[in-house]
């Protein structure tokens, strides 16, 4: 430090009126007014710089106490010079490590008591090191100055920010401090003695751009640094005195690079997974080796694919198009996209999609083209399959549409053509459709019916004029419970006000979920049917009446004929007894004929009477055991059985409901016919069976006789119907007529089956007797 003593220049005339005290107080530089006895007064800047801002309690401290002893010693000379009226300067270091301060000591006006005064003006000059630190700070670079023992002497603001530690935390820390956590890019630890600063101190060589990961405790993260250590060896020394470590925070760049590496890897695996070939080309489009993917696929040698040779692997038909596309892409710098067939090493052509994109560098120039060839076989096959599938689907849809159209047309035809009236109803009972027959039947137009509440329009009253409440309406009930209903007798009301007798079926309709959605009603106008039924009833009544009349007549006739016949018979008998042998032989013959005729007539009349009597007796029907009846019948035909050597067998364990006497007559007739009409060559045999058939007992009477030709199977049941001459088989032809009448009187049926020459089977049904309680 050197003293500079200048002679005091005269006050410049222009400043004489300025109040110097105000100026001195406002000056940003530290300023001290010191009296000859050493007491100092400080302006605010001096207080900040020398006392940390707090004024001395005594008010006027001794000036020397404000400086370090070294600084005070350096200032003593200039101060004395100033008190003596001279301006003097000195450069001092106010605190260890601080930059150099230029101090100017100037004589001041004497104090109130006339004592000499001096002004000390402190001007801190920027230190080269701190300027450098600030400069680095401006670049965002961290700087730390470390001593020989690697203790940190000084850091700039960027260093504290990057390392996440305050200046105080960093001051004095050395490289071996265990609190450092540092790693290499591969994650391995970075020991303190290998830190660039250590190495630079040891070797005296600059260590440049060492990547280092360092843990930042404040934000609990890792930062990546590029560290350069510059050793400082003072002239004339062998070993470095200090080391300046400069570091840049490259974390963001690292991350970006890592991301880039990741995405590049992803891209590569994507390419490998989805494509067959990856290739690159020069900016001008030339294709040069090595292209391992291309070689492997096409089998072309480097020499044969270089430049335009690759085109030879493209199918001849696709070459022109491919060249054109590639030229256009390289000229316009637009992505290249073309499909062509590429010859594989085995000689087959594979459909390929070729794509390439230009890679543009920072200057906007094409650096290279990167291209891929993708095997499209699978895609093509899938596309074809899809096309086939679509076509098939289309066909099926068309067929289905046609079916539906047919069904719809058919339904419409059916609805239109149907003779029956057909309505559709929704859940509210509103008519949703009606066919022309329905409209015709009820005298409305189809349009009038659709949309109208069906019950209120055509079904509002019963046939007898009573009101028809909706809840009684079977159609409405079907809408409620989904049950199909058939109604035989009801009326619907014609538009002109008269009732139309109808029979109808209500069927519920369902939606896709199976829930009742409405109903379809098929209505038949029963006017005609009822008229026909009424006519039929009349005819039946008439027939029954005339039948009764006829029966009455037959009964009365046969009954009344008996009396005169008896008279004729008695007199014939008398004539025979008195005059037989007295007249000539012819007269005797005549008398014999008369007797025969009387006998026959009597038998005829009795048969007729028997026929007419069937059902006339009001005897109640009773449970009748077939087995017992057959035993009685057997008694009746005993004589015939004995004479003709015939047999009668039965198995008839059932009981029927009927008049026992009539039933006995029925079975006796059938059995005796079976015995009577027997074949010449075999003994007659009659078998009777019964079996249960619902509410009836089915009885069969089977014989092995002469049989009956099919054309007589019905006629034999008519009255007086006989198939043989009386001389061959006796009888009046009334037996089967009486049998039919008896069976029908009991509510049953009679019929026969027969094979002429083999035998006949008579079938009859009789009501089964209720099981006794």
The binding site for ligand ADP (CB under 6 A) comprises 673-674, 677, 703, 705-706, 708, 716, 721-724, 729, 731-737, 760
Name which of 602 and 722 has its Cβ closer to ligand ADP: 722
**Residue 734 Cβ vs ligand ADP, minimum distance, rounded to whole Å:** 6
The Cα–Cα gap between 157 and 267 comes to 41
Tell me the residue number closest to ligand ADP, measured at CB: 731
**Residue 727 Cβ vs ligand ADP, minimum distance, rounded to whole Å:** 12
**Residue 737 Cβ vs ligand ADP, minimum distance, rounded to whole Å:** 6
**Residue 647 Cβ vs ligand ADP, minimum distance, rounded to whole Å:** 15
Nearest residue to 700 (alpha-carbon basis) of 687, 715, 683, 681: 687
Name which of 417 and 709 has its Cβ closer to ligand ADP: 709
**Residue 440 Cβ vs ligand ADP, minimum distance, rounded to whole Å:** 55
Name which of 344 and 685 has its Cβ closer to ligand ADP: 685
Record the tokens describing residue 390, joined without a space.
Answer: 């679509």
Owner of token pair 């906007």: 364
Name which of 281 and 630 has its Cβ closer to ligand ADP: 630
- What separation, in Å, do the N-terminal and C-terminal C-alpha atoms of the chain show? 153
Strands 647-651 and 685-693, sheet pairing = parallel
- Please work out, in degrees rounded to the nearest 5, the angle formed at the alpha carbon of residue 641 by the alpha carbons of 639 and 645: 125
**Residue 613 Cβ vs ligand ADP, minimum distance, rounded to whole Å:** 17
Name which of 225 and 750 has its Cβ closer to ligand ADP: 750
Identify the helix (H) or strand (E) that includes residue 717: none
**Residue 493 Cβ vs ligand ADP, minimum distance, rounded to whole Å:** 57
> What per-residue string of b and e applies to 217-254 under the rule 16 or more CB within 10 Å gives b?
eeeeeebbbbbbbbbeeeeeeeebebbbbbbbbbbeeb
| Cα dist from 585 to 574, 580, 588, 590, 725, whole Å | 17, 9, 5, 9, 27
**Residue 668 Cβ vs ligand ADP, minimum distance, rounded to whole Å:** 11
User: Phi then psi for 655, rounded to 5 degrees?
Assistant: -120, 140
Name which of 19 and 680 has its Cβ closer to ligand ADP: 680
Residue 270 has a CB neighbour count (10 Å cut-off) of: 11
**Residue 720 Cβ vs ligand ADP, minimum distance, rounded to whole Å:** 8
Name which of 442 and 736 has its Cβ closer to ligand ADP: 736
**Residue 546 Cβ vs ligand ADP, minimum distance, rounded to whole Å:** 23
Residues 369, 330: contact at Cβ < 8 Å?
yes
Residues 742, 666: contact at Cβ < 8 Å?
yes
Name which of 294 and 677 has its Cβ closer to ligand ADP: 677
Owner of token pair 């007549």: 553
Beta strands across the sheet bearing 117-124: 4-6, 87-93, 100-108, 117-124, 31-35, 40-42
Name which of 572 and 702 has its Cβ closer to ligand ADP: 702
Name which of 352 and 706 has its Cβ closer to ligand ADP: 706
Strands 655-658 and 622-625, sheet pairing = antiparallel
Name which of 577 and 725 has its Cβ closer to ligand ADP: 725
The Cα–Cα gap between 260 and 541 comes to 111
What is 42-87 written as a DSSP string? E-HHHHHHHSTTPPPTTSS-BGGGGS-HHHHHHHHHHHHHHHTT-E
The Cα–Cα gap between 337 and 322 comes to 9
Name which of 493 and 745 has its Cβ closer to ligand ADP: 745
**Residue 580 Cβ vs ligand ADP, minimum distance, rounded to whole Å:** 31
Identify the helix (H) or strand (E) that includes residue 332: helix 316-332
The Cα–Cα gap between 10 and 36 comes to 22
Residues 519, 509: contact at Cβ < 8 Å?
yes
**Residue 527 Cβ vs ligand ADP, minimum distance, rounded to whole Å:** 46
């Amino acid at each position: 430090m050197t003293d500079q003593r200048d002679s005091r220049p005269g006050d410049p005339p222009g400043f004489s009126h300025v109040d110097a005290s105000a100026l001195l107080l406002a000056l940003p530089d530290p300023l001290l007014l010191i009296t000859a006895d050493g007491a100092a007064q400080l302006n605010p800047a001096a207080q900040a710089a020398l006392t940390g801002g707090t004024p001395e309690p005594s008010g006027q401290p001794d000036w020397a106490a404000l400086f370090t002893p070294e600084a005070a010693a350096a200032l003593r000379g200039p101060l004395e010079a100033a008190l003596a009226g001279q301006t003097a300067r000195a450069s001092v270091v106010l605190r260890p490590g601080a930059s150099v301060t230029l101090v100017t000591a100037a004589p001041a006006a004497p104090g109130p008591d006339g004592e000499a005064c001096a002004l000390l003006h402190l001007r801190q000059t920027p230190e080269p090191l701190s300027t450098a630190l600030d400069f680095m700070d401006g670049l965002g670079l961290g700087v730390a100055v470390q001593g020989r023992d690697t203790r940190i002497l000084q850091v700039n603001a960027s260093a504290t920010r990057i390392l996440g530690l305050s200046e105080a935390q960093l001051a004095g820390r050395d490289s071996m401090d265990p609190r450092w956590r540092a790693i290499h890019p591969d994650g391995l630890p970075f020991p303190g003695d290998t830190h660039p600063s250590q190495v630079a101190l040891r070797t005296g060589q600059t260590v440049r751009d060492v990547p280092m990961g360092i843990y930042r405790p404040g934000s609990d993260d890792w930062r990546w640094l590029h560290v350069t250590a510059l050793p400082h060896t003072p002239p004339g020394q062998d070993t470095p005195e200090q080391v300046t470590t400069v570091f840049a925070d490259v974390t963001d760049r690292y991350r970006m690079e890592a991301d880039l590496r990741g995405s590049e890897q992803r891209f590569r695996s994507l390419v490998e997974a989805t494509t067959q070939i990856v290739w690159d080309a020069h900016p001008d489009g030339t294709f040069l080796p090595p292209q391992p993917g291309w070689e492997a696929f096409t089998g072309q040698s480097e020499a044969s694919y270089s430049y335009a040779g690759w085109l030879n692997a493209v199918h001849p038909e696709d070459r022109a198009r491919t060249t054109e596309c590639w030229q256009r892409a390289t000229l316009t710098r637009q992505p290249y996209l073309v499909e062509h067939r590429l010859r594989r090493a085995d000689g087959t052509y594979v459909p390929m999609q070729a794509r390439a994109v230009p890679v543009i560098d920072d200057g906007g120039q094409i650096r290279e083209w990167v291209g891929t060839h993708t095997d499209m076989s699978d895609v093509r096959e899938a596309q074809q399959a899809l096309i086939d599938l679509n076509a098939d689907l289309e066909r099926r849809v068309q067929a289905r549409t046609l079916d539906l159209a047919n069904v719809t047309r058919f339904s419409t035809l059916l609805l239109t053509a149907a003779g029956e009236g057909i309505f559709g109803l929704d859940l509210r009972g509103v008519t949703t459709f009606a066919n022309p027959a329905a409209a015709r039947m009820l005298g409305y137009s189809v349009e009038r019916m659709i949309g109208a509440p069906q019950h209120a329009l055509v079904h509002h009253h019963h046939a007898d004029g009573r009101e028809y409440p909706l809840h009684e309406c079977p159609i409405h009930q079907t809408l409620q419970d989904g049950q199909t209903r058939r109604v035989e007798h009801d009326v619907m009301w014609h538009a002109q006000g008269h009732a139309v007798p109808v029979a109808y079926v209500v069927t519920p309709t369902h939606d896709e979920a199976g829930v009742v959605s409405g109903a379809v009603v098929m209505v038949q106008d029963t006017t005609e049917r009822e008229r026909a039924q009424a006519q039929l009833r009349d005819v039946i009544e008439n027939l029954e009446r005339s039948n009764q009349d006829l029966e009455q007549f037959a009964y009365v006739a046969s009954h009344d004929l008996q009396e005169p016949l008896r008279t004729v018979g008695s007199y014939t008998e008398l004539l025979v007894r008195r005059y037989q042998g007295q007249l000539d032989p012819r007269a005797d013959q005549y008398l014999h004929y008369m007797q025969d005729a009387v006998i026959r007539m009597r038998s005829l009349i009795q048969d007729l009477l028997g026929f007419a009597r069937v059902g006339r007796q009001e005897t109640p029907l009773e449970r009748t055991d077939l087995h017992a009846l057959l035993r009685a019948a057997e008694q009746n035909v005993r004589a015939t059985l004995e004479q003709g050597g015939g047999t009668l067998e039965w198995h008839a364990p059932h009981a029927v409901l009927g008049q026992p006497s009539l039933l006995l007559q029925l079975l006796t007739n059938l059995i005796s016919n079976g015995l009577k009409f027997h074949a010449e060559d075999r003994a007659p045999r009659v078998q009777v069976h019964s079996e249960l058939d619902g509410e009836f007992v089915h009885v069969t009477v089977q014989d092995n006789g002469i049989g009956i030709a099919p054309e007589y199977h019905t006629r034999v049941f008519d009255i007086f119907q006989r198939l043989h001459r009386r001389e061959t088989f006796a009888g009046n032809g009334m037996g089967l007529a009486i049998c039919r009448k008896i069976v029908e009187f009991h509510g049953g049926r009679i019929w026969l089956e027969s094979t002429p020459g083999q035998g006949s089977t008579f079938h009859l049904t009789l009501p089964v007797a209720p099981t006794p309680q």
